[in-house]
Amino acid sequence: MTGVAAPSATPVPQATVAWSLMRALLSMVVLVGLYFLAPLDGLRGVPLGFTLTVAGALLVGIGAWQLTAISTSPHPRLRGVEALAITVPLYILVFASAYYAMALQDASTFDVAGLTRVDTLYFTVTVFSSVGFGDISAASQVARVLVTVQMVLNLIVLGAGIRVFVGVARRTREGLAGSLTTSRQGSTS
């Protein structure tokens, strides 16, 4: 212990917290709504590799944008919550969309024929949460590879991905607190 008091950050107004949480919830609702309204039937015939490449680029781009938003926010912890409320559901919905497109192209991709968007979202969430009830499972080699990729990426998203968001929020908060301390010291001199 150095004997130096840790800088304290200015308390966040409750209205700011409430608005941030409302935006996070609204973001999740909008994303799920878009999943159910998007013309995913139009993906029939589009090569899966192309679809996944575009979706992956979209996820990386949005993730980078969210990290920038956290690092420039006056309330990085709240912005981090919002970022996770956008990025994690988007990640899940990308896989649900891919599974839906696969099921449309070939009914034998999964062991249950005629999967709906609800079915593929349910399947994606069970894989993401590692529950895996077994009522829907990948039957084709391509589907098994994609599910395996999702499982590996789940570990990365849950481990490293969330850690990155939290780390950026913490460093930004510490930087803001340090700036606040410096400005307080400058005003007392």
pLDDT digits (tens, 9 = 90+) for 137-155: 999 999 999 999 999 999 8
pLDDT, residue 180, reads 53
Residue type, 54: V
> How far is it, in rounded angstroms, from Cα 131 to Cα 137?
12
Question: What tens digit of pLDDT does each residue of 50-66 get?
Answer: 999 999 999 999 999 99
Number of domains in the chain: 1
Domain carrying residue 160: 46-174
**Is residue 139 domain-resident?**
yes
Average pLDDT of the chain to the nearest whole number: 86
Residue 76 lies in a domain: yes
Query: Does residue 185 sit within a domain?
Result: no
CATH code for position 109: 1.10.287.70
Assigned domain for 165 exists: yes
Say yes or no to pLDDT of 136 above 80.
yes
Cβ contacts of 6 within 8 Å, gap of 6 or more: 177
Classify residue 164: in a domain, yes or no.
yes
Q: The pTM is what? A: 0.81
Please state, for a pLDDT cut of 90, what percent of the chain lies above it.
Answer: 59
Q: Smallest Cα–Cα separation from 112: which of 93, 131, 139, 94? A: 139
Distances (CA, A) of 2 to 6, 8, 157: 10, 16, 36
Residue 174 vs residues 166, 167, 170: alpha-carbon distances, Å: 12, 10, 6
Query: In this predicted structure, what is the pLDDT of residue 6?
Result: 42
Confidence at residue 68, expressed as pLDDT on a 0 to 100 scale: 92
Question: What is the four-CA torsion angle of 92, 97, 103, 104, rounded to 10 degrees?
Answer: 170
Q: How far apart are CA 172 and CA 66, in angstroms?
A: 13
